[in-house]
Amino acid sequence: MKVVLLGATKGIGRAVARVLASRGAQIALLGRDLAEVERSARDLEARGAQGRVAAVPCDLSEPEGFGAALDAAAGALDGFDTVIVTAAAFATQDQLERDTARLQTLLTTNFTNTILFCEEARTRLLARGGGTLCVVSSVAGERGRTPVVLYGATKAGLSAYLEGLDHRFHRQGLITVCVKPGFVTTTMTEGLPRPPFAGSPEGVAARIVRAIDRGTPVVYAPGIWALVMWVIRLLPRAVMRRVKF
């Protein structure tokens, strides 16, 4: 595999990079802070990465640089067949309601700019005859829910986009993998109460890599969330207005 990974310096992305590197994949790590990205590359090499590891700066808040970053990754790896996006912004509903600037950043990062990056990746994958585009969304986008109205809206839109890509480009060789984690214990969720079914970055990474191997279009992580969200989708709106979940 020749993998471009945006968001490899923390949490789920770092765990995914470690799994792939241990299997001999060639990886171009993309991230906002080049020093952090280079440290992540050295970490993989220290752990015995079998394939090439490249570090490329790419800021999800600067879409004008997406194409150049992907082209730099392609140059470092002599092409790529897989693009994984784990980078995202997060804040609680209360924080977003109080801070309009933070809300605007989250909406732009998680929806508009993530899709713009995916579009750059999609065109390059299709130009090479196809490949895999794997993006981390969230169970928060499964239904409108009281605790995650704003964050969940960005993930709902992202999930719908990925499903649409699957319908439109699958026959041309594009494999889309939409990852829907529940609560994961990372620096992003540090300080928040740990709910039932919380996952670890390593556990989620294992499910992501397995889904990429199999070409699974939607994967929940941990797997119990598939059942939980099936129940949530069945609840009447009147019940959803009252529950705090």
Q: Higher confidence at residue 50 or residue 151?
A: 151
Residue 193 has what pLDDT? 62
Query: Mean pLDDT throughout 216-235?
Result: 94
- 59-86 confidence digits (pLDDT tens): 999 999 999 999 999 999 999 999 999 9
In the chain, the number of structural domains is 1
191 pLDDT exceeds 70?
A: no
- 105-162 confidence digits (pLDDT tens): 999 999 999 999 999 999 999 999 999 999 999 999 999 999 999 999 999 999 999 9
Going by pLDDT thresholds of 50, 70 and 90, the confidence category of residue 50 is: confident
CB 88 within 8 A of CB 110: yes
Residue bearing tokens 């605007």: 104
Q: What are residue 85's phi and psi, to 5 degrees?
A: -120, 115
Catalytic entry in 117, 151, 161, 225: 151
161 is an active site residue: no
Query: Mean pLDDT throughout 161-182?
Result: 97
- 95-107 confidence digits (pLDDT tens): 999 999 999 999 9
- Residues 63 and 83: their CA atoms lie apart, in Å, by 16
Indicate which CATH number applies to the domain containing 8: 3.40.50.720
Please give the residue range of the domain that contains residue 212: 2-242
* Listed residue (158, 62, 150) closest to 102, CA to CA: 150
